[in-house]
Structure 1
Amino acid sequence: MARAMKVAIVDDEADMRQSISQWLALSGFDTESYASAEEALKAIGADFPGVVVSDIRMPGMDGMAMLKRLMSVDSGLPVILITGHGDVPMAVEAMRIGAFDFLEKPFNPDRMTELAKKATQARRLTLDNRALRRELSDGSVIMKKLIGSSPAMERLREDILDLGQADSHVLIDGETGTGKTLVAHALHAVGPRAGKKFVTISCAAWTEDQLQAKLFGPVEEGGLPLVDEARGGTLCLEDIESLSHPLQSRLLTMINDQAVPPETRIIAICNQHAPDKTLEDVLRPDLFYRLGAMTIVLPPLRTRGEDILTLFTNMSEQFAEEYGCDAPQVTAQEAAQLLQAPWPGNVRQLVNIAERAVLQNRRGSGSIASLLMADNEASGPALTTEGKPLKDYVEAFERMLIDNTMRRHKGSIVAVMEELCLPRRTLNEKMAKYSLQRADYV
């Protein structure tokens, strides 16, 4: 579920603090009050999980001075200022400095609630974006997002660690929904450029003139073209197959003008090309050979075996926590159906199925089989997946069952033995067989 956001109320008048706090608390906010700006500044730092509501006129440090201090600590912190009738010019100046909005006394409490909701929504988005940027710049965190123990995923992680340390440009290919953008971030995060800029653009999202201006300039309203913004770091070009031949030529010139090793590393992502063509067919040969010196081809989900069940379990548990309900329990038949599904949309499709399965489970209706059937019908003629021996399905389901039970009981061996009716020795043998470690669940 979404985390509760705080509202810090700063006012030297106790009655005003109390009335604002009570009103916002009744509106569902988590409030905390401070009698002075100095007291509030001791508690409010960068990444404060909420917003600030403050009077402007206070003894000692006033609201304007506090606003300037807060903006220097965290410029993305929403601050709502309460002004007297004659303080409107001051409030306008506060907006210029960085205040989120202001309320003029006497104010409508509903207006305060409305502003607080808008401010907390903006704050949540800011904090989520910061958390995402931190994850995408942390190699150890981002590698953990590449879930799976199949041979294909083991090779992919090894390739990322190897190629991430190199300086050559990289070409990433694979079916839609396989996680190519995540791999691009991982290549940047595990290499020597991790602390530098990672700049990304979709070549399919803009007209040729717009793309040329964004990449090479001139950029409207100032700013730098992306090739300059990414200098010293990584420039990620998604949908490289959409790049026109004139722009391919311009990009090739930029690459040829760079020293060795290149100042800016280019990671090119191909998101789709005709089944009877390769990326070599859609890029001019000289650009293909410059970009494709190192290539990563992501495995389709249907080839990854029991990774499918691992991913489904992880995703459904995450959505269950977000929606405040239980994750669906997968039956043996449903596990087999998940393993046999063609997954034309790959991991992206699986994430959607997992979320819908959680919502169905919350309502107490529907099945995973019906979701898979509806998806396959909507996507038209689907890729087929080869059948597997019964033993493979049984082992995949057994591993998933033990894994889920260990998660639910937080690594309690006794509880797992009781629920699955397994003697300790048998459970230990199966955990060893499936590379399950108790320490991962505690």
Structure 2
Amino acid sequence: MHEPSATPVMIIDDELHLRITAGQTLELAGYAPEPHASAEAALEHLAPDFPGVIVSDIRMPGMDGMALLREIRLRDPDLPVILITGHGDISTAVEAMREGAWDFLEKPFAGERLVEVVRRGVEKRRLSLENRRLKAELEAQQNAPGPRMVGRTEVIQRLVSMVQRISQVETDVLLFGETGTGKDLVARSIHERSSRSGRPFVAINCGAVPESTIESELFGHEKGAFTGAVERRIGKFEHATGGSVFLDEIESMPLALQVKLLRVLQERSVERLGANVPVPLDIRVIAATKVDLKAAAEAGNFREDLYYRLNVVTLPIPALRERREDVPLLFQHFAVVAANRSGLECPPLDTADITALLAHDWPGNVRELRNLAERYVLLGATCDYRLDALLEGVGSETGDLALPQQVELFEKSLISQALARHRGRINEVCGQLGLPRKTLYDKLKKYNLKAEDYRQSAMP
């Protein structure tokens, strides 16, 4: 009797002895053989997203192997079909490969050859279904409110909860986090989850706009307000009416301009340069900084009154090293996005890849990880998809993590990945990880992981 979590393999042949022999060979190798005497019978039992592979003889009464291959290609072109040909029938094998067969076996074949071809086909199928599932989730997210914040760690789930809560109330927000942590994503999430989602989201990088023009950019100007002002200009604040203004790198805003920003926040109105009539504003302001504004205020580099006005609600954005367990999941997410956009394949990560991801210190945070995932998809084939080669020169320091902490972090990440892949199905997770049920339950308790959290969706 095969294990409940074993991968199914359909064996289709009108010869009973071949079905029995191939079935015994595959069962001993850990697979779950499903024998069928005809192609018609097999098709009746072929469910959508069948997780295994098909092994079929070509020459059979009724529907033969080539006709079966064509029918399966119509139903699911990613399902590997392995065809069995007669001795010396090379022309049939070539035709089968042209029709899209995964591989072929020439009679008589050794059991080891059958197991090896099936093993490669099963791995290909697992990758195809994984990408299909993730692409479906990405498409579903297009209709969901707000950009997606991916992660299972407590710190990111707490942030998601806070974003949801803050978006429902009308208050200005200050985001604090290192470069690359995704402050712009959080700002957009707040906007898209709020009642202002149908109105403009206007993003301004205070560190990128020249000091000579930033006042005009933000507040606008009247015709003739200064040399070169040949016509009226509506500023960013006024343009965002009804929506949200995102002021990134607000620590870079000139001190003189901070006075005017404070007045805008307090009075909810703006005066264009060269005008005397205030324009009322209906906006939410979301500011972001990578420095401690209180310390900057104490040092005289930021206005203290503006700091306290912005500090009504402050959301700290965690650095990636503070949620290392999310790294493999995030990498997979970004890789699938890149593969979906480019039409390229997205090979799955192996244990060595996950180790490399967890070991890296990620000074560039999520932005650095996203760039690596895109290089993995676009350039990975040039280095056999070796992450260590793509990370070469970047460094992989583990900071202050001791070896036992690294081992526990790696183990928890592998278990979390298995739970996500199998949607919380304990039998399948045990099968993949090679763990007895009691051992797995002990580890779930140790790492505060709950299988039910993974049953609705493989990724949050």
Larger radius of gyration between Structure 1 and Structure 2: 2
Mapped contact 1:341–1:385 kept (Cα < 8 A): no
How many percent identity over aligned positions? 32
Q: 1:384 aligns with which of 388, 396, 399?
A: 399
Mapped contact 1:148–1:310 kept (Cα < 8 A): yes
Q: Deviations along 1:374-430, whole A, 9 cap, x unmatched? A: 2239xxxx78352325233112123224534x49xxx99998887666889999999
Map of 2:245 onto structure 1: 235
Map of 1:263 onto structure 2: 282
Tell me the secondary structure at the aligned position of residue 394 of structure 2.
Answer: helix
Q: TM-score w.r.t. structure 1 length?
A: 0.58
Mapped contact 2:203–2:247 kept (Cα < 8 A): yes
Q: Distance in 2 between matches of 1:222 and 1:169?
A: 28
Q: Distance in 1 between matches of 2:161 and 2:416?
A: 24
Q: Deviations along 1:81-101, whole A, 9 cap, x unmatched? A: xxxxxxxxxxxxxxxxxxxxx
Map of 1:8 onto structure 2: none
Tell me the secondary structure at the aligned position of residue 344 of structure 1.
Answer: coil
Asked if residue 210 in structure 1 is aligned to residue 213 in structure 2, the reply is yes
Q: Deviations along 1:156-184, whole A, 9 cap, x unmatched? A: 01111222122221111100111101111
Q: Distance in 2 between matches of 1:305 and 1:294?
A: 26
Q: 1:290 aligns with which of 309, 332, 335?
A: 309
Map of 1:164 onto structure 2: 167
Residue identity opposite 2:420 in structure 1: D
Map of 1:440 onto structure 2: 457
Note the C-alpha offset of 1:192: 2.5
Question: Moved runs in structure 1, 4+ residues, more than 6 A?
Answer: 411-432
Mapped contact 1:167–1:262 kept (Cα < 8 A): no
Residue identity opposite 1:357 in structure 2: Y
Mapped contact 1:169–1:265 kept (Cα < 8 A): yes
Q: TM-score w.r.t. structure 2 length?
A: 0.56
CA distance 1:364–1:339, change in 2 (3 Å):
closer
Residue pairs, 1:374-413, within 5 angstroms: 374-376=393-395, 384-387=399-402, 388=405, 390-404=407-421, 406=422
Note the C-alpha offset of 1:324: 3.5
Note the C-alpha offset of 1:262: 7.7
Q: Distance in 2 between matches of 1:393 and 1:419?
A: 16
From the two aligned structures, give the one with the greater helix fraction: 1
Q: Deviations along 1:23-61, whole A, 9 cap, x unmatched? A: xxxxxxxxxxxxxxxxxxxxxxxxxxxxxxxxxxxxxxx
Asked if residue 173 in structure 1 is aligned to residue 179 in structure 2, the reply is no
Note the C-alpha offset of 1:325: 3.6
Structure 2 alignment gaps of length 5 or more: 1-140, 223-228, 270-279
Mapped contact 2:247–2:285 kept (Cα < 8 A): yes
Structure 1 alignment gaps of length 5 or more: 1-134
The alignment yields a C-alpha RMSD, in angstroms, of 3.8
Map of 2:362 onto structure 1: 343
Mapped contact 1:177–1:347 kept (Cα < 8 A): yes
Tell me how many residue pairs correspond in the alignment.
297
Q: Distance in 2 between matches of 1:416 and 1:394?
A: 13
Note the C-alpha offset of 1:217: 1.9
Q: Deviations along 1:257-309, whole A, 9 cap, x unmatched? A: 239x9832211111x34899557754200111111111111000011131111
